[in-house]
């Protein structure tokens, strides 16, 4: 049984100009211990899909799906209180802007403690030790002192480490990372990616990496879903995708990488647009 299984997910937003379809019939399957990368440009619906899983979309969104199951149990059929027990504990998420996702008014120790208070039955003393242990596990130096630090006293990379500590506090079975390194420098990005993949390997959790960076995909993923304008273009394991991309959009994305430049100009997605339209016609006879 798959850890997370989603079939035919559609998300629509009510706008002044009528309903806008952000996601149009996408499928995801994540097995335990697997790293799935969802890659696409802004507007491809990659974040919306995972926010729908987490139940974090605003009221203006209408979510429909044939199936949206976590460990075989349909998330939509769960009562709200049940679902809150799963979200944050068994499924956790980290976001793009680490400094914005932490509350500036509370110490990082307090914010970590909140998660443990909500989802575990540990005593105050045990929680305190666990908080320090968690900070240590994500590589924060001098964790006993740093528990009383405020987010503004830490760098972006350290804040992202704290976010990872919060997300992994209850040993989630599935971690969703939404562009976890986009706001960070390359050297820090490398450290955070290593931390995430090490944790994933050690705990055997499922990991969903949402990213627009093909480099990040190449460094972390087992399987890749390529999305464009709310539709799924291609699903393949990482080696196949890079070695032998079958969809023109994937080819376009890969050739837009500056390191793949041949000659003077970079090919852009526009160069592949004609090919993509031809491709769509083939699919719909």
Partner 1 sequence: MSDPILKVRDLKRDYVISGGMFGKTKLLHAVKGVSFDVERGSTLAVVGESGCGKSTLARMLTMIDPPTSGTIEIDGETIDITSHGITREMRQAVQIVFQNPYGSLNPRQKIGAVLEEPLLLNTSMSAAERRDAALAMLEKVGLPPEHYGRYPHMFSGGQRQRVAIARAIMLRPKLLVLDEPVSALDLSVQAQILNLLRDLQDEFDLTYVFISHDLSVVRYIADEVMVMYFGEAVEHGTRDQVFSDPQHDYTKTLFAATPRADVESIKKRLAAKSAA
Which residues contact partner 1 by CB under 8 A?
41-42, 156, 185-190, 193, 201, 212-219, 238-239, 242-243, 252-254, 256-261, 264-270
Smallest separation, CB 95 to partner 1 (Å)? 17
Smallest separation, CB 8 to partner 1 (Å)? 27
CB-nearer residue toward partner 1: 189 or 232: 189
Q: Helix 124-137 vs helix 108-119: angle between axes, to the nearest 10 degrees?
A: 120
Buried b (16+ CB within 10 A) or exposed e, 167-184: bbbbebbbbbbbbbbebb
CB-nearer residue toward partner 1: 54 or 257: 257
CB-nearer residue toward partner 1: 103 or 260: 260
Smallest separation, CB 130 to partner 1 (Å)? 27
Smallest separation, CB 188 to partner 1 (Å)? 8
CB-nearer residue toward partner 1: 174 or 217: 217
CB-nearer residue toward partner 1: 78 or 218: 218
Smallest separation, CB 184 to partner 1 (Å)? 9
Smallest separation, CB 69 to partner 1 (Å)? 27
User: In the numeric block, which tokens belong to residue 176?
Assistant: 């969703």
**What are the residues facing 47 on neighbouring strands?**
none
CB-nearer residue toward partner 1: 74 or 185: 185
User: In the numeric block, which tokens belong to residue 220?
Assistant: 């972390």
Question: How far is residue 151's CA from residue 144's CA, in Å, rounded to a whole number?
Answer: 15
């Amino acid at each position: 049984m798959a850890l997370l299984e989603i079939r035919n997910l559609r998300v629509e937003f009510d706008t002044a100009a009528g309903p806008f379809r952000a996601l149009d019939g996408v499928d995801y399957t994540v097995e335990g211990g697997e790293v799935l990368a969802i890659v696409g440009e802004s507007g491809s619906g990659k974040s919306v899909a995972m926010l729908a899983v987490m139940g974090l979309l605003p009221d203006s969104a209408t979510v429909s799906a044939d199936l949206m199951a976590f460990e075989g149990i349909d998330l939509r059929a769960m009562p709200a209180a049940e679902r809150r027990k799963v979200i944050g504990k068994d499924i956790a998420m980290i976001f793009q802007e680490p400094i914005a996702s932490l509350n500036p008014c509370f110490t990082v120790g307090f914010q970590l403690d909140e998660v443990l208070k909500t989802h575990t039955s540990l005593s105050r003393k045990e929680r305190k030790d666990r908080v320090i242990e968690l900070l240590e596990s994500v590589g924060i130096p001098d964790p006993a002192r740093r528990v009383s630090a405020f987010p503004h006293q830490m760098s972006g990379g350290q804040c992202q480490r704290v976010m990872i500590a919060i997300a992994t506090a209850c040993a989630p079975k599935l971690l969703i990372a939404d562009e976890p390194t986009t706001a960070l420098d390359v050297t820090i990005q490398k450290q955070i990616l290593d931390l995430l993949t090490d944790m994933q390997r050690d705990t055997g959790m499922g990991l969903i990496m949402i990213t627009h960076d093909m480099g990040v995909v190449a460094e972390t993923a087992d399987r890749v879903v390529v999305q464009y304008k709310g539709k799924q273009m291609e699903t393949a394991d990482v080696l196949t995708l890079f070695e032998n991309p079958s969809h023109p959009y994937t080819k376009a994305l890969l050739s837009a990488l500056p390191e793949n430049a041949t000659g003077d100009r970079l090919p852009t997605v526009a160069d592949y647009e004609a090919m993509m339209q031809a491709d769509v016609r083939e699919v719909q006879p």
